Structure 1
Amino acid sequence: MPPSAEGRSADGTPADGPAPLRIIQVGAGAMGRAWLHNLAESPDAVVVGLVDLDPGLARAAAADTGHGNAAVAESLDDLLGRVEADAVVNVTVPAAHRAVSERALRAGLPVLCEKPLADTVSSGLSMAAAAELTGQLLMVSQSRRYWRHLDTLSGLLDQLGEIGAVGCTFRKAPRFGGFREQMPYPLLIDMAIHQFDLARVLIHADPIAVYCDSYNPSWSWFRGDASAEAVFEFADGARFAFSGSWCAPGLETSWNGSWWISGANGTATWDGEHAPAAEDTDGHRLGAEPGSRPEQIAGSFAEFAAAVRTGETRPAGEVHSNVLSLAMVEAAIRSAEHRRRVSIAEILDDAYADAIRTETEPDLRDVLASWPFVHDVIGEHRTVSTPPGAAQ
């Protein structure tokens, strides 16, 4: 039984309900502060440690967000021997996600990692192997899955029968400055994974291919392509059409985008901010129960905490499932670069071969090599079935 902490009695038993998870958070930047505020409000967490390359920044962030008693260090290794923890929240920059998550997993700690899982699908596969090797949960915080209106929308879709087409229009004009404005595909890499991942939630099937066209309007303040049009094919025959831009001032959509979903028995719409609406084939308005769960990162942490406590191995965002959302991004980029239809099988096959070729840890390479077929272990619904080397 874990040692005493806030919410625990002296003998380590819960003082009032389930004991909060003792959390080490890695990363104290802007998103790190958002997570610290969230964890301060959560009954499921007590932050016992905070890691950042800038210890002064970490101390200030901890004090400002109500975690003044948390131990501070420059590296996760420095804290692992000093504090007892139940889990790690990884809020580092994407390039550091793999190293931090794997170190925590090898230390026997489950990990909740900010999106994206990794900077490449290849690295994501190695991270899935690390979770298998250690037997620990690695979950990605796809925070836009956690909206009460999305729960209501799901209830409406249950009444629409077979879903044939899903569309999302995304129009924003943010001026971030910094690295995003220098990226080659800023919209696809940094934003569209949210909408791609939500399409998987709404369709309840795995994507199998995409055709994507990306471009940059003449007035764009981004160096790389800030706009894209993509059509994904799903294993059940459904299509997902995405039309997005990060340089579209005026009449902007919500950050979730504006959605329509067409089913055999009617159509639903959602503007990403307000309650969704739906009508059946006779024009009758449909209803569904409103959602009530925590939203955004509070929702992802609540699901993570429940999974850690119960031993659930496949919560939403679990690494083997989330790799597929990352593969959708890579497939869209490859399609845009080569002006052709790209299959998800192609992306996974190439990433799997690269992961085995480049993996430097023998135990992780052995796990990867033990997979008889990468598509058997990646994805939520596992309906991608084209074997390696087959015609796409």
Structure 2
Amino acid sequence: IGDITGIHCDFFLAPHFGGFREEMQNVLLLDMAIHTFDAARFVADKKPLAVYCVERNPKGSWYRHGASANATFEFADDVVFTYRGSWCAEGERTSWESQWRLVGSKGMLTWDGEEGFKAATAGQDPGLLHGFTPVEVPAPEHDEETHGHASVIAAFVEAIKTGKRPETASSDNIRSLAMVFGAIESAKTGKRIEISA
């Protein structure tokens, strides 16, 4: 699909946890969004530079504060990442891993957050919209890395036993936490916030 220019994620679930989450400030951003932010940063392989975020607690929310958020992040090299999420979106939900659309300079990749990958480049149709040409998405190179939490735990144990660097590490994923705190600050102030981590 060429060079990544945009990463767009939707996260819409309605878990009724009970307990501390329902009393938290900034519940979606502080409790869950870091996972999607970390994944977007990994996919982009770019440094996050700034964010503008709008956070709300929609009507019908059973959370005390911040159950939905919309954030636009600026990454290095003009890559934009948008996040739309809600912890109180009743109805047909997304995957826990979000729904993804990666836009490149030559095409697009979508992922439903579970099993469904699709890729396409520009088509050859004449006129205003040229259609698209499907592109085969190859199977994972290492299938053992695609089994959710089990794969992550296995990789963690392997890293401890062998010293092999894990896919993400604390020296690097601090930038994902900086994205969370930048989004919260932006939501509180109504301003674009630069990310310094």
So what's the TM-score if we normalise by structure 1? 0.46
Q: In 1, Cα distance between the equivalents of 2:188 and 2:100?
A: 26
Tell me whether 1:274 sits opposite 2:115 in the alignment.
Answer: yes
Q: In 2, Cα distance between the equivalents of 1:290 and 1:190?
A: 32
Aligned to 2:127: none
Tell me whether 1:303 sits opposite 2:155 in the alignment.
Answer: yes
Residue deviations 1:25-49 (CA, integer Å, cap 9, x gap): xxxxxxxxxxxxxxxxxxxxxxxxx
List structure 1 runs of 4+ shifted beyond 6 angstroms: none
Instruction: Name whichever structure is richer in strand by fraction.
Output: 2
Aligned to 2:185: 334
Instruction: Give the residue type in structure 1 aligned to 2:44.
Output: I
Q: Report 1:1-392 matches (<5 A).
A: 160-282=1-123, 283-291=132-140, 292-294=143-145, 295-312=147-164, 314-345=165-196, 348=197
Aligned to 1:89: none
| Contact 2:109-2:117 at 8 Å conserved across structures | yes
CA shift at 1:275, angstroms?
A: 2.2
Q: In 1, Cα distance between the equivalents of 2:24 and 2:6?
A: 31
CA shift at 1:302, angstroms?
A: 2.4
SS of 1:279's equivalent in the other structure is strand
| Contact 2:55-2:68 at 8 Å conserved across structures | yes
Q: Which runs of 5+ in 1 are unaligned?
A: 1-159, 349-392
Q: In 1, Cα distance between the equivalents of 2:11 and 2:149?
A: 21
CA shift at 1:257, angstroms?
A: 1.3
CA shift at 1:322, angstroms?
A: 1.4
Q: In 2, Cα distance between the equivalents of 1:298 and 1:274?
A: 16
The one of the two structures with greater contact order (alpha-carbon pairs below 8 A, sep at least 6) is 2
Q: In 2, Cα distance between the equivalents of 1:304 and 1:229?
A: 32
Taking only the aligned residue pairs, the percentage that are identical comes to: 44
Residue deviations 1:156-209 (CA, integer Å, cap 9, x gap): xxxx11111111111111111100000011100111111111101211111111
Q: Which moved more, 1:285-294 or 1:331-340?
A: 285-294
Aligned to 1:370: none
SS of 1:273's equivalent in the other structure is coil
Q: In 1, Cα distance between the equivalents of 2:173 and 2:148?
A: 17
Instruction: Give the residue type in structure 1 aligned to 2:152.
Output: S
Q: In 2, Cα distance between the equivalents of 1:247 and 1:344?
A: 28
Q: In 2, Cα distance between the equivalents of 1:266 and 1:325?
A: 27
CA shift at 1:317, angstroms?
A: 2.4
Aligned to 1:36: none
Q: Which runs of 5+ in 2 are unaligned?
A: 124-131
RMSD over aligned Cα atoms: 1.3
Aligned to 1:381: none
Instruction: Name whichever structure is richer in helix by fraction.
Output: 1
Aligned to 1:151: none
SS of 1:330's equivalent in the other structure is helix
Q: In 1, Cα distance between the equivalents of 2:137 and 2:93?
A: 27
Query: Number of residues paired by the alignment?
Result: 186
CA shift at 1:278, angstroms?
A: 0.7
